[in-house]
Structure 1
Amino acid sequence: MAPFSGDGVLWLCLGVSLFFAVRGIATDLRQVVDLTEIKHVEQEDKIINTLLKLSQSTNHDLRAASLRIISERSCKGATRDLLLEDLASKDKVPQARALNALNFLTSNRALTRTSICTRIADLHTFTALVNCLSNFLEEHVEKTTTTNSPILPKTRPMGEKKALNILHALLPENVPEALEAGIISRWLCRYPFPCALAEPSRRRDVVILMKTWWSDDVVMSAIFSTLSSHPDGIKQLRKHGLMGSMIAENDQDDDDDADSDVWMVDADEAGGSFGRTPSRRFPEGSVEDQALRRRRREAMVLSDGGRPIGSDDIIQRPID
């Protein structure tokens, strides 16, 4: 009998053919997967390049639409995590890139109708931003301005300005999360305000001076305005010594019509320079004396507008 019949040879050939066919199909499938992944990356690159070109278009609608798409992608998932990681970094190169990107996302006019600020104003973002601002404290060394002011330090680094702009845009969206991240407890309480470094120190007058000298540092003044308009913000400002007590503030209001104190800036330099601020009188005497001063300033002015106001037009509450 022959070792292999005709049917046996046929089945053997079919088995061998099937084996190599399966291996070939598997190899081809792996190649298809690899090719698909490469095409996917290339497609992503094409999309990004297209969006970048559209963002530079002279057509306003195309430019605005492409910028919105880019901003949406920048505020999600791993892209956003990397952006915030670079923002908090002490390495100046990635930090600068992150500051430029976030400053663009929060201030570009084409994105004003989007909800970028609302969506990224959370604890994660504020923590990275406070870390960034805290890193800048170490760079307050060289003078960058000659402005004499009780609230604006002469040593503000250039990068800090962008960080302040970002904070100014995000803070109104979520003050509680910013406070939890340490905007006051980790950063502002350590900030080198000239009035806080002066002798005698006017650290507790920072909030008042921000209102009086706001034009010297508009962005920082706006940040303080937002914080001092929030109940928890007021508590922390007082806790960390940047805002006076209720009694001191009432006494300040009572004495607003008195002569102003003289604030001397850079007294250690030759000549120095002077500015005028509202007086900052601390409570003197008993509680009764303070109440008496307040009552003296409670008055009503009646005038028909046809002549200058005189003492006869002022009706003051009787003093017991």
Structure 2
Amino acid sequence: MAWFSKLIHDDRVLLGYLAINTVACLWGIHVLLRKWRDEAEIKPAQPKTQYITQETEDALKLGTLDTLLGHYNYSIRETAAKIVCDRAVNDRETVDMLLWGITRPDYEERLKNLRALAIITDPRESPANRALRLGPGCAGADLRLTARKDSLERLHRWKAYAALVRCLELSLDPEQEVLDNEDWDEYPLRDMTEKLCLMFISQLLNCYDAEKLVKAKFVEKWLAKQNWGKTREERLRNFLQYLRCRANRITDIIVCIRGTRSGREALEAAGLLPPSTPTDSDPEDNIPLIERFNVLLPANIDVNNLREDDPARVLIRSLQAVQSVEEQRMRHRHREAMVLNDGSHPVNSDDIIQRAESPL
């Protein structure tokens, strides 16, 4: 134990021991202080993410929504406005009431109902911003709104197309200038009711075909009544010039209408397009299928004397089967028709659109 007593009396060992104890005490105090600081710190409560379910939306009453629309918080107002718009666009009675409103003779009533339709069918912008943009000072604004297809689906029916055409008919300007200037586009200066109706029609044609619009007599009741000129030649020339030199909603609608057979016939009947000449058909199309392939068969062949497995007899039978199937398909095609009726009135001949027959 002599070495241990010498080690104890050595000053360097004592200094090292004291240094180690000091460092350990300081480190322990530091850990205790950090722990005390973390426990004493008051952390702000993290906001909890909350989602509004469909059941919660349906449970909100109209009085509650009216109160939320006047709330000081912008997010609450925005959410309440979206709920109101969704309810309105999914309520058929509300949409029908707005469609009835756009056919009224009073200009202010038509414009108010058109603005309401534009607000509930456009989800891209906030309802508040749309209300401001569709306000009294938006007469010169370019309303390029893009509505959802599911919202526009409520307008893709006969009553909606007829209401839009009627609104356009009421918005006709009896003092409109002749549309013969190829360097000037009059569309930005058109009436706001016309621009809103054309906006709806253009969006509907982007999602659906133009058959219902043609059936609603858009060409006869509005397009043909534009001031294209007095004589037939002047109207035809100005219309084709307008279609060639303009790029607005009207030309987009005309292109969609002209792409359908019924639409082109309506444009031709209104004198806006020249009569279409029948396309030259191949005379061989009217020859029966068997006669076309008679060059493959001998001239003096007798079918009754051929065997069942004879190649010539198999060829004739296959051609006869193909010809019968083709004739049956064409007969079915000539009988195809479309009935457009939403149940608001009895079905009559005006509700039936038959496929135009084409020569066999």
Per the normalisation by structure 1, the TM-score is 0.51
* Match of residue 128 from structure 1: 163
Partners of 1:150 and 1:122 in 2: how far apart?
Answer: 37
What code does the residue aligned with 1:214 have?
Answer: R
* Match of residue 85 from structure 2: 70
C-alpha contact 1:228 1:234 (8 A) present in aligned 2? yes
Match of 2:264 among 234, 251, 266: 234
C-alpha contact 1:140 1:157 (8 A) present in aligned 2? no
Match of 1:189 among 192, 200, 224: 224
SS at match of 1:246: coil
Partners of 1:183 and 1:98 in 2: how far apart?
Answer: 20
What code does the residue aligned with 2:171 have?
Answer: F
What code does the residue aligned with 2:274 have?
Answer: G
Q: 1:112 to 1:171 in 2, by over 3 A?
A: closer
* Match of residue 306 from structure 2: none
Partners of 1:80 and 1:162 in 2: how far apart?
Answer: 16
Partners of 2:105 and 2:224 in 1: how far apart?
Answer: 21
* Match of residue 159 from structure 1: 193
Q: 1:162 to 1:149 in 2, by over 3 A?
A: farther
What code does the residue aligned with 2:259 have?
Answer: S
Corresponding pairs, count: 200
Q: 1:207 to 1:105 in 2, by over 3 A?
A: farther
Q: Deviations over 1:194-220 (max 9, x none)?
A: xx21668432246633442123xx111
What stretches of structure 1 of length at least 5 have no aligned partner? 1-41, 250-320
Q: Deviations over 1:79-101 (max 9, x none)?
A: 11210111011112211111112
Q: Deviations over 1:167-219 (max 9, x none)?
A: 21123424211111111122212122xxx21668432246633442123xx11
Per the normalisation by structure 2, the TM-score is 0.46
* Match of residue 124 from structure 2: 109
Q: 1:189 to 1:69 in 2, by over 3 A?
A: same
Partners of 1:68 and 1:244 in 2: how far apart?
Answer: 50
* Match of residue 43 from structure 1: 61
Partners of 2:262 and 2:180 in 1: how far apart?
Answer: 32
* Structure 1 residue 242 displacement after superposition: 1.3
* Structure 1 residue 48 displacement after superposition: 4.4
What code does the residue aligned with 1:134 have?
Answer: E
C-alpha contact 1:151 1:213 (8 A) present in aligned 2? no
Match of 2:213 among 178, 183, 186: 178
* Match of residue 219 from structure 1: 249
C-alpha contact 1:75 1:120 (8 A) present in aligned 2? no
* Structure 1 residue 130 displacement after superposition: 0.6
Q: Deviations over 1:278-307 (max 9, x none)?
A: xxxxxxxxxxxxxxxxxxxxxxxxxxxxxx
SS at match of 2:271: coil
1:89 aligns with 2:119: no
What stretches of structure 2 of length at least 5 have no aligned partner? 1-59, 126-145, 280-360
* Structure 1 residue 156 displacement after superposition: 3.3
* Structure 1 residue 149 displacement after superposition: 3.7
Partners of 1:46 and 1:77 in 2: how far apart?
Answer: 22
Q: 1:200 to 1:114 in 2, by over 3 A?
A: closer
Q: 1:142 to 1:199 in 2, by over 3 A?
A: closer
